[in-house]
Amino acid sequence: MRSAARARGLYWLCHYAALALFVAFALFPLFWLLKVSITPNDLLYSEGVRLWPSHATIAHYVSVIQHTQFPLYFRNSVIVSATTALLSTLIAAAAGYGFSRFRFRGKLWILGVMLVTQMFPLVMIVAPIFRLLAPLGLTNSLSGLVLVYTAFNVPFASFLMQSFFDGIPKELEEAAMIDGATRFQALRWIILPLTLPGLAATAGFVFTGAWSELLFALMLNSSSQVSTFPVGLLSFVSKFSVDFGQMMAAGVLALIPVCAFFLLIQRHLVQGLTAGAVKG
């Protein structure tokens, strides 16, 4: 009896120790980012390896917000990411619903095409897209980015939405249609309220993806007026490659929206992926 209890105690010890390692690994880089961002410049080199500066300061944040164009970049990113998330979720919800509820000719082909879009380096299509958008006046604009980002995100978002819809029994729409609803009314009143967690999760996923996108933001928009923050941060890095304090402060600022969003939706995301998995 006692050895069994001891074995169990040992098991949980290892369990928590392993988890502690994972948590430390996950959080350490972010912690370091924070740490350097509040280290005053004069202590930066002398106290390089300390885990916490002897003297903390918010001077870097103030400098970033007031003396650089970061607020503009930030604003642009918010506009682009939020709009992309909204559009992608709507379009993907419609497509995901279509895949979930209907059997129709060409379904396999369409799914195949969507799979292919995940398989090639996006670098390949930068130039063609540039040539496509330039005559339409969509280069050097936020709308052009939104268009491109929405197209990139719709395949995976549709797949996510399809799993969420698969988790809702078809009988509910059938009951609604027998009650006198058109399919669209059934979708609006019965099904959509039930997929709100799924919609939130998909929106969060797309938001995060759009927020992080570097390549096309770099290539399609050259004016700093319409640069998103990844571009801004990169130019910052090349221009001020030794001003680590400010760079890291900018990085921390950039993390805030996505982490906040993530915290809100992470439960639903796990739930949604689990639901899809159970269905097979």
Q: Which residues, numbered 19-78, are part of the site for another protein (CB under 8 A)?
A: 19, 22-23, 25-27, 29-30, 32-33, 36, 44-45, 48-49
Give the residue among 59, 30, 28 at the shortest CA–CA distance from 44. 59
Q: How far is CA 122 from the centre of its chain?
A: 18
272-273-278 Cα angle (round to 5): 100
Nearer to another protein, 93 or 226 (CB): 93
Q: Which residues, numbered 170-209, are part of the site for another protein (CB under 8 A)?
A: 171-172, 174-183, 185, 189-190, 193-194, 208
146, 233, 249, 268: which one binds another protein (CB under 8 A)? 233
Residue 5 CA neighbour count, 13 Å, CB half: 2
The stretch near another protein (CB under 8 A) out of 2-10, 53-61, 65-73, 265-273 is 265-273
* Smallest separation (angstroms) from another protein to the CB of 199: 14
94-122 core/surface letters (b: 16 or more CB in 10 A; e: else)? ebbbbbbbeeeeeeeeeeeebeeeeeeee
Residue 166 CA neighbour count, 13 Å, CB half: 18
Q: Is 155 helix (H, G, I), strand (E, B) or coil?
A: helix
Q: Which residues, numbered 205-224, are part of the site for another protein (CB under 8 A)?
A: 208, 211-212, 214-215, 219
Q: Quote the longest CA-to-CA distance of the chain.
A: 79
* Smallest separation (angstroms) from another protein to the CB of 138: 11
59, 63, 110, 143: which one binds another protein (CB under 8 A)? 110
Structure tokens at 56: 């903390």
* Smallest separation (angstroms) from another protein to the CB of 11: 10
Q: How far is CA 174 from the centre of its chain?
A: 35
Is 5 a binding residue for another protein by CB under 8 A? The answer is no
Is 79 a binding residue for another protein by CB under 8 A? The answer is no
Q: Which residues, numbered 87-106, are part of the site for another protein (CB under 8 A)?
A: 91-92, 94-95, 97-99, 101-102, 104
Count the residues of the shown chain that bind another protein, applying the rule CB under 8 A. Answer: 103
Q: What is the rounded distance in angstroms from the CA atom of residue 239 to the CA atom of residue 42?
A: 20
* Smallest separation (angstroms) from another protein to the CB of 177: 5
242-217-120 Cα angle (round to 5): 110
Q: What is the rounded distance in angstroms from the CA atom of residue 39 to the CA atom of residue 35?
A: 6
Q: What is the rounded distance in angstroms from the CA atom of residue 171 to the CA atom of residue 6?
A: 51
Q: Which residues, numbered 123-152, are part of the site for another protein (CB under 8 A)?
A: 123-129, 131-132, 147-148, 150-152
* Smallest separation (angstroms) from another protein to the CB of 57: 15
Is 80 a binding residue for another protein by CB under 8 A? The answer is no
* Smallest separation (angstroms) from another protein to the CB of 60: 13
The stretch near another protein (CB under 8 A) out of 2-10, 58-66, 67-75, 229-237 is 229-237
